[in-house]
Structure 1
């Protein structure tokens, strides 16, 4: 039975990946900081899908947490989903430096280290997949969050090109607004976001898995967001900076 390790696995997109991969017959390794929620999620998945589920409590903003997950990845997995992440409610100049550094550790260092830990085993077996959850924010400018997600996209594309093996697929997933706990936990006011821009986590994951099967290195779920990104690439960078700044003030 193939094995998938998912970070940030107890809610939102991570939980949706856990459900989808369990339904596809993967045994799971769930990673999160909250041991209670991990145990509850594991029990639900075992009962519903009849798959083996291990839990790995770890804080990915700490070296100890990163090392624990790296050690498990070196034992071998068939699919790695780097999903853990968070946002800040304030502007870049308003956020404490230690919080910004913590974000970079979770969004960038963890993705780098976990991918490097998983790839040798995948290359030895001649198969595997790494899905790095980024955001459509990667294509725009909105502080450290969008900068970190742009790094995830570039890293995923660069690593896929370097590996150069179609049986080892590496993809950045770039969803837009998704109905999860993400914004609430970051104390973000999203009341002004139009209803038609919200996506469902399970739909995002289903499209991501389809794009992965097609060998795409970047997945932008939903035609609405594909159009938004396409238009954003045509607009002069100076204008996108101003639009992003106006959006950030709302």
Structure 2
């Protein structure tokens, strides 16, 4: 993406993005940055009152259309409701979705043998199953639109995590394992749809200053260990616009990711054990 693409108003007003987990953190940042670029928005989150508050603020600030869609993506009903919105093909009242941002997630930790089975299921439902089902809902519509001759960028951004790359993750095995799945699956889907004019990008942030990482922040990690939400979103949109299937935001994490991949697996396991 060129610098010009990173300025307000560069996306056509007809473009619509749906962002999950949009009431805070990275999801809210995605919503604001896309609105700045002229996208109409469909914002999804569990907290209806907060979601509507953010939607109204974005409408007033950026003058774009914002639809608030409260839904719990940890439930089948919530996923089905959002999937129905993603299936809109533009022939009805609802605009088709040009960009789906799968950002909603949860990061419950703890030793696997003592984790609550219900909490494990809930994390898998939100971090993995919802991402698959929502992507499955939107891709056929996007592919059909491209086959019908529509132009413009369409596709999906999946927010994964470096927690699954490439170190082992004691105390976060379900979270890290789920994110590893999302990363590999996303890259496979990206290869499947690349020739159809649809872009799928998976984003692997390290530590980001959000409510979800508050416990990590309280450990007193140095400032350089964190990347900003703005940088994560900026790097993600640039990678997606350029048709890249994989991006690691932040120079420090790009470097660490590359170095870890060169180490023997035994060293990686030992390092992961110490970090855990």
Aligned-residue RMSD, C-alpha: 1.4
1:76-91 matched pairs, under 5 angstroms: 76-91=96-111
Q: Secondary structure at the match of 2:108?
A: coil
1:115-194 matched pairs, under 5 angstroms: 115-126=135-146, 127-139=153-165, 140-142=167-169, 143-165=173-195, 167-184=197-214, 187-188=215-216, 190-194=218-222
Match of 2:239 in 1: 211
Match of 1:67 in 2: 80
Structure 1 residues not aligned, in runs of 5+: none
Deviation of 1:230 (Å): 0.7
Deviation of 1:34 (Å): 0.3
The total of aligned residue pairs comes to: 246
Structure 2 residues not aligned, in runs of 5+: 1-13, 89-95, 147-152
Asked if 1:228 is matched to 2:256, the reply is yes
> In 2, Cα distance between the equivalents of 1:166 and 1:131?
16
Match of 2:123 in 1: 103
TM-score (norm 2): 0.86
Deviation of 1:190 (Å): 4.2
> In 2, Cα distance between the equivalents of 1:190 and 1:60?
28
Q: Is the 8 A contact 1:136 1:176 kept in 2?
A: yes
Residues 26-64 of structure 1: per-residue CA shift (max 9 Å, x gap): 111110000011011101100110011111111111111
Match of 1:243 in 2: 271
Deviation of 1:167 (Å): 2.8
TM-score (norm 1): 0.94
Q: Is the 8 A contact 2:207 2:213 kept in 1?
A: no
Q: Is the 8 A contact 2:43 2:67 kept in 1?
A: yes
Deviation of 1:206 (Å): 0.6
Residues 56-113 of structure 1: per-residue CA shift (max 9 Å, x gap): 1111111111111110100130000000011123222232111111111111111110
Deviation of 1:243 (Å): 1.6
Structure 1 residue ranges (4+ consecutive) displaced by more than 3 angstroms after TM superposition: 187-190
